[in-house]
């Protein structure tokens, strides 16, 4: 009986230590996954920028075959072939990194929330679809609907990574209740994504050139121009809501950053239209800032929704 009692007391004493060790392992796994996700998000952003530059430079078919380029892993180079080849190199890195992400999440699934493992699976599906669309972009000779779907899927993949990274942030992002900000930010995110896809249709069909020079595809261009109004209104409403709530901390900084990206994006859009896409760097910057604007809205949405849950939990605890 004494030995039994000793064993029981030892188990009780070891239990808090085991619990602490499990929490530490879980935190380490989350931190490791978050670093990988942020690295993949940065690579994806670079991939979209290089892809945009490849398109505006007319280098989309500089490698006429796929997955090789002129039948080689490293072909002969000029500036156009390099752009298309380098785009594929980054895409390969993103694809392999996503496979590693899924493997790590599955390996650490007992130490991670199930939603994280599920989102890693979604990211893998999106990157596989993106790879297939990239191949079709070449084999179908830059067909506009495939090019637009390629951009739209890239933005969805980018947003998925940012959702994972933001949700892995442990502490509350604001001091004080967030009110309707989560809903407003979510609506703005969806509107911004739609506007980016409309812009992709304009770019993939060169609608600005064709409309201004021959009155062709003006409906395509006008739909994107009309979309500016709702997008601007939605983002300004996000900034106003955050300001009205008197939020502090990360949410306040992200909301103001979102407003800054909006101002830059509108200016770049005007410049792109006036210059008739004649300055590649301006056109690519328009895409890059659009992606950054979408990214900040995604992060703001996730953090504000999570803080909303913190607010509810705190309210229930006070009620009890």
Whether the Cβ atoms of residue 108 and residue 33 lie closer than 8 Å to each other? yes
Q: Give the pLDDT confidence score for residue 312 in this predicted structure.
A: 58
Q: What does the pLDDT look like over 112-159, one tens digit per residue?
A: 888 999 999 999 999 999 999 999 999 999 999 999 999 999 999 999
Question: What are the sequence ranges of the domains in the chain?
Answer: 25-170, 171-320
Rounded distance between C-alpha atoms, residue 236 and residue 258, angstroms: 9
Answer yes or no: is pLDDT of 108 > 80: yes
Whether the Cβ atoms of residue 69 and residue 85 lie closer than 8 Å to each other? yes
Confidence band, pLDDT 50/70/90 cuts, at residue 313 = low
Confidence band, pLDDT 50/70/90 cuts, at residue 16 = low
Answer yes or no: is pLDDT of 4 > 80: no
Q: Give the pLDDT confidence score for residue 13 in this predicted structure.
A: 42
Answer yes or no: is pLDDT of 250 > 50: yes
Rounded distance between C-alpha atoms, residue 183 and residue 187, angstroms: 6
- The model's pTM is 0.89
Enter the DSSP assignment of 179: T
Answer yes or no: is pLDDT of 84 > 50: yes
Answer yes or no: is pLDDT of 60 > 80: yes
Answer yes or no: is pLDDT of 285 > 60: yes
Confidence band, pLDDT 50/70/90 cuts, at residue 294 = very high
Q: What does the pLDDT look like over 201-245, one tens digit per residue?
A: 999 998 988 888 888 899 999 999 999 999 999 999 999 998 887
């Amino acid at each position: 009986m004494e030995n039994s009692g000793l064993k029981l007391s030892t188990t009780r004493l070891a239990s808090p230590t085991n619990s602490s060790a499990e929490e530490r392992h879980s935190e380490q796994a989350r931190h490791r996954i978050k670093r990988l996700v942020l690295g993949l998000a940065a690579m994806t952003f670079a991939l979209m920028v290089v892809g945009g530059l490849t398109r505006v430079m007319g280098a989309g078919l500089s490698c006429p075959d796929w997955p090789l380029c002129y039948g080689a892993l490293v072909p002969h180079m000029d500036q156009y072939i390099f752009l298309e080849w380098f785009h594929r190199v980054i895409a390969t890195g993103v694809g392999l990194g996503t496979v590693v992400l899924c493997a790590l999440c599955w390996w650490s699934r007992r130490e991670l929330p199930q939603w994280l493992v599920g989102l890693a699976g979604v990211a893998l599906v999106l990157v596989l679809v993106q790879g297939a669309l990239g191949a079709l972009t070449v084999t179908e000779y830059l067909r506009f609907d495939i090019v637009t779907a390629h951009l739209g899927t890239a933005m969805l993949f980018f947003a998925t990574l940012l959702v994972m990274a933001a949700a892995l942030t442990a502490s509350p992002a604001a001091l004080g209740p967030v009110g309707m900000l989560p809903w407003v930010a979510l609506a703005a995110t969806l509107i911004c994504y739609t506007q980016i896809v409309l812009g992709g249709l304009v770019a993939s069909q060169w609608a600005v050139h064709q409309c201004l020079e021959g009155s062709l595809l003006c409906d395509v261009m006008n739909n994107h121009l009309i979309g500016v109004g709702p997008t601007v209104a939605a983002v300004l409403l996000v900034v106003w809501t955050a300001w009205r709530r008197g939020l502090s901390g990360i949410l306040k900084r992200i909301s103001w950053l979102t407003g800054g990206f909006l101002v830059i994006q509108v200016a770049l859009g005007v410049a792109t239209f006036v210059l008739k896409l004649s300055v590649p760097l301006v056109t690519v910057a328009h895409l890059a800032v659009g992606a950054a604007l979408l990214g900040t809205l995604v992060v703001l949405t996730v953090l504000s929704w999570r803080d909303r849950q913190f607010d509810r939990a705190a309210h229930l605890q006070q009620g009890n």
